[in-house]
Structure 1
Amino acid sequence: MSWFTASDISWIAVILSTVAGFVVGAAWYHERVLGRVWRHLVGLTEQDLRDASPARFVATGVVLFGTALVLNVLMVELSVLSVGGGALFGAFIALVFRVGNHIIHHGFELRPPALTIVNGVHDVVALAAAGAVIGAFV
């Protein structure tokens, strides 16, 4: 593919933006922030979360890493080369792709609209943070 080369990837930015995604998620879904609200909306208890497989964190890491990798490639190819531009681009990508998917899937799953808002705004903030980190390095 002529539009992409491995030299376009800032591996440190990809790793740090993956970490940023975990940090945003840990803060967003913390019990003192939106964790209780989110658990109520999805019907989980604290014990359900304690009993959940650690594999879910591994899967989250893989998805965050892949997202950061693609975001890095897109930002380089589109010349989004600043912290502010990266934050806006990440937020835009999240709004179009991630929030759009939440709206579609939560709608068909008859999930509460509040859950779509909690998850969707999280995704916008997380990808904005990822884009800002990448923008600082590319």
Structure 2
Amino acid sequence: MHPRFAHVAMEIARTLGLCFLRANFIVSSLRKNFDIHFWCKVLTYLRRVIRKNVYRYGGHPFDLINQNRPVHLWRMATPSEELVLHCQFQRCSQDEIPKITVQDVLYGNVKPQGKFEFLSWKSRIPPYYSYVTSCEIREQKTAATKRKRSTM
């Protein structure tokens, strides 16, 4: 691995709190796109999402979801759309697993609207649990302010 990739990978791991499950949230997308610029973009995105959630909602996104509190993300492909994660749960049956992945949603490969579920992570070892997240996409409201004109 090139030293720059190793450095960015370590920064991503630190940003995610060195947690195995957290790292699996994004590792598959990094594996598919071996481009240093993309990795840096993901690192910048993660830092921004964490900073916004800590500032606005009082906690790290992964801690919030573990407390069954909503987590607010922004799609990398369409920053004007807010992705609100409501809860995460595990499923055993392959029949109930959504085809949409977290990467599809974040990077804009699919454009679901409203409330839906996506596959967060799938275990590669027995008992092969899949982790599904219930969420919704909301259009962000722009805060346009109008100035009153003086009538004098």
Fold agreement, TM-score > 0.5: no
If you compute each CA radius of gyration, which structure gives the higher value, 1 or 2? Answer: 2
* Higher helix proportion (structure 1 or 2): 1
Report which structure shows greater RCO (CA 8 Å, sep ≥6): 1
TM-score of the superposed pair, with normalisation by structure 2: 0.32
TM-score of the superposed pair, with normalisation by structure 1: 0.35
